[in-house]
A and B are shown apart, each in its own frame.
Chain A
Amino acid sequence: MEKKVDQVSQLKTPKTDTEVRQIWRHLRRNRMAMIGLAILVLFLISSIFAPLLTPHDPIKLDLINARQAPSSENLMGTDWQGRDVFTRILYGGRISLMIGFITVAIGLAVGIPVGTLSGYYGGKFDLFVQRFIDILIAFPGILLAIVVVTILGVGVEQVMIAVGISTIPIYTRLVRGSVLSVKEEGYVAAARSLGIGDARIILRHILPNCLGPIIVMSTFRIATSILWAAGLGFLGLGAQPPDPEWGAMLSRGREYMRSAPYLTLFPGMAIFLMVLGFNMLGDGLRDALDPRGRKY
């Protein structure tokens, strides 16, 4: 008898492990998702190890070498102030990745608690939250971000807060929806009938089962945040010179579109590839995390 109990408890621990492994196995077979992941890993490595990968400085001016065409010395040429474009793109990856992760973290930090309480308890609080979210969603996201930037002023941190705030309604609604459907599951009723408290039910039974959609949404939202932040940078409302932010680089680069088109080409390509990477991974994760579509 005791041995049997032992076996059962042993079975329990690796269960989540297999779940993750199953998802990974499914994801690994998805060629598009793997390409996306490879792109992202490449960006991650190149932004972390940027100082080791390039001998140039991303900020320091070198006016004598301004607007040199791409060569073996300057892989993507130099900009109007003689800075190596390749170097600036490597360092710019840091800014974009940071913006992507931090904005989503802001959305999660508010969206998960508010959405969970709203979905779990319902009632007046839910009604109030939903009306408030309706108002925020009635604003096109980027417009909301622009309003917040107008109030806070320009800069990378301000953009992170602005874009982060505009993701809050999306997460709140998503989490609320997931909680509403998970709440009706048998195991939640079972836990409740065992006299387990609300906090424990939410943390141990409901939220872990809402993780799938949250992870998928986050992958896509990182992509959107990066696009928006680059857009704000392009408009002059985001990162300010001399920050090597891709959107801001593009907006200055366009002044030299005729004589130095590579100043327009490469930063845009970087934004495109990073966003593409997150989207491809997100598509794969969505398929892998949907148990109905998953073949064991």
Chain B
Amino acid sequence: MYGYIIRRLLLAIPVLIGVSILVFSIVRFIPGDPARIVAGVHASESYVERVRTELLLDEPILVQYSVYMGNILQGDMGRSAFTRRPVAEELFNRFPNTLLLTVAAMGIATIFGMSAGIISATKRYSLFDNFTMLFALAGIAIPVFWLGLLFQLFFSVYLGWLPSSGMETWRNLVMPAMTLGLATTALIARITRSSMLDVLGQDYIKTARAKGLVERVVVYKHALKNALIPVVTVMGLQFGTLLGGAVLTETVFSWPGIGRLLVDSILARDYPVVQGAVLVLALFFVLINLVVDIIYALLDPRITYGTQEGN
């Protein structure tokens, strides 16, 4: 088990290096002078020259990369082409907002999705089940930005119940979290239902019932734990979708997170900030996947942890 966790941690290293290479390459792939691209369109000649020396553009690419990596490991991600403030500072200020939004969305999705899935599975073909399945189908097809606009139209414009943008109080969080969480809710409901139905058909559930156990104990104690494994996997994978969705949701609700910062920076051609935002989002995603894989291993003792590749 510990061997597996250590191996999993080690496997994350090449992934992180790959991510850093991709991010490092962004400004070098864009057509034009990298120093000008990093400095910004309105930067003075002298500033461009300063950036050129900082980026070591005359040195071999490997030297450039190792210096870039060294800076990042020290928390230096360069300066914004517009505000000239350190990128790391900007990201540090905004990251908690993105974290809050995604965790709230995941919380909503877990609570509602799993409850709906469990009820659906235990009351198969009921009205509730049919409704849940219909919702599950629609939930993953609805564009997250459109859903956000519909919520704004309904709850802010027509009903006036919730503020349409910003983040002053907890009431600002309700709509963005619901918007971002809906697709995941739908997916979790669907997976929980099918996984529960699978488990409920197993022999040991029949045994538990034959022993005369109360249905509630059978469902929650015997079935649920085993049904959770695919649900946890999907939740881990969904974090990526949530982060992607956060980019859109933050834009709709003017939520001051990293996703919106990323979009604004791309549109403004503020590439140092783009690089930083991509790096942080990807890093966050890799960490989440790592945690999920470890939880997964703890949940299911049957998993063998050999690598299958290359055989």
Question: Is residue A223 contacting chain B, with contact meaning CB distance below 8 A?
Answer: yes
Residues in chain B near residue A15, CB distance under 8 A: none
Q: A134 contacts the other chain (Cβ, under 8 Å)?
A: yes
The main secondary structure of chain B at its interface with chain A is: helix
* Residues of chain B contacted by A131 (CB below 8 angstroms): 14
**B248 beta carbon closer than 8 Å to chain A:** yes
Query: What residue of chain A has the Cβ atom nearest to residue B242's Cβ?
Result: A140
**Contact digits for A273-284, partner B, Cβ 8 Å, 1 yes 0 no:** 001100110010
- The reply to whether the CB of A53 lies closer than 8 angstroms to some CB of chain B is no
Cβ–Cβ contact B152 & A231, under 8 A = no
Contact of A223 with B274 in the complex, beta carbons under 8 Å: no
Task: Give the number of chain B interface residues (Cβ < 8 Å).
Answer: 46
Question: Among residues 250 to 269 in chain A, which have CB atoms less than 8 Å away from a CB atom of chain B?
Answer: 250-251, 254, 257-258, 261, 264-265, 267-268
Interface size classification for chain A: 35 or more
Q: Is the Cβ of B141 less than 8 Å from the Cβ of A235?
A: no
Q: Is the CB of B310 within 8 A of A134?
A: no
Does residue B241 face the partner (Cβ distance < 8 Å to A)? yes
Tell me if B141 and A275 are in contact (CB < 8 A). yes
Listed stretches A20-28, A65-73, A81-89, A119-127; interface member: A119-127
On chain B, the residues within 8 Å of A223 by CB distance are 141
CA distance A234 to B144 in the complex (A): 11
* CB atoms of A237 and B26 under 8 A apart: no
Q: Report if B281 contacts A (CB, 8 A).
A: yes
CB closest residue in chain A, given B285: A140
- For A280, what are the chain B residues with a Cβ–Cβ distance below 8 Å? 137
Chain B proximity of A282: nearest CB distance (Å): 11
Q: Write out the residue numbers on chain B whose beta carbons fall within 8 Å of the beta carbon of A268.
A: 143, 146, 149-150
**Are A234 and B153 in contact, with the CB atoms below 8 A?**
no
Chain A residues near B67 (CB, 8 Å)? Answer: none
Q: Which of B247, B251, B274, B286 contacts A142 (CB 8 A)?
A: B247
- Answer yes or no: B210 CB below 8 A from chain A CBs: no
In contact, B285 and A257 (Cβ under 8 angstroms): no
Of the residues B30, B247, B271, B310, contact of A124 by C-beta under 8 Å: B310
Q: Among the listed A143, A234, A261, A279, which residue makes an inter-chain contact with B243, where contact means beta carbons less than 8 Å apart?
A: A143
B23 contacts which chain A residues (CB < 8 A)?
147
Q: Which residue of B lies closest to A125 (CB)?
A: B310
Once the chains bind, are A272 and B142 in contact (CB under 8 Å)? yes
A127→B285 contact, CB < 8 A: no
Query: Taking the complex as formed, is B19 at the interface, i.e. its CB lies under 8 A from any CB of chain A?
Result: yes
Q: Of A146, A264, A272, which is in contact with the most chain B CB atoms at under 10 Å from its CB?
A: A146
Cβ contacts A209-241/B at 8 Å (1 or 0 each): 000000000000001000110110011110000
Do A122 and B244 have beta carbons less than 8 Å apart? no
Cβ 8 A contact of B29, one of A151, A227, A261, A272: A151
Complex partner residue of B274 from A134, A150, A231, A236, CB under 8 angstroms: A150
Residue contacts A-B, CB under 8 angstroms, 30 given:
A32-B137, A122-B309, A123-B310, A126-B310, A127-B309, A131-B14, A134-B18, A135-B18, A138-B18, A138-B282, A140-B241, A140-B281, A142-B241, A143-B278, A143-B285, A150-B30, A150-B271, A235-B263, A236-B267, A247-B143, A250-B145, A251-B145, A257-B153, A261-B153, A261-B157, A275-B143, A276-B137, A276-B138, A279-B137, A279-B141
What residues make up the interface of A, taking CB atoms closer than 8 Å to B? 32, 122-124, 126-127, 130-132, 134-136, 138-143, 146-147, 149-151, 223, 227-228, 230-231, 234-237, 247, 250-251, 254, 257-258, 261, 264-265, 267-268, 271-272, 275-276, 279-280, 283
Known pairs A32-B137, A122-B310, A135-B18. 5 more at Cβ < 8 A?
A231-B248, A234-B145, A235-B247, A272-B141, A283-B137
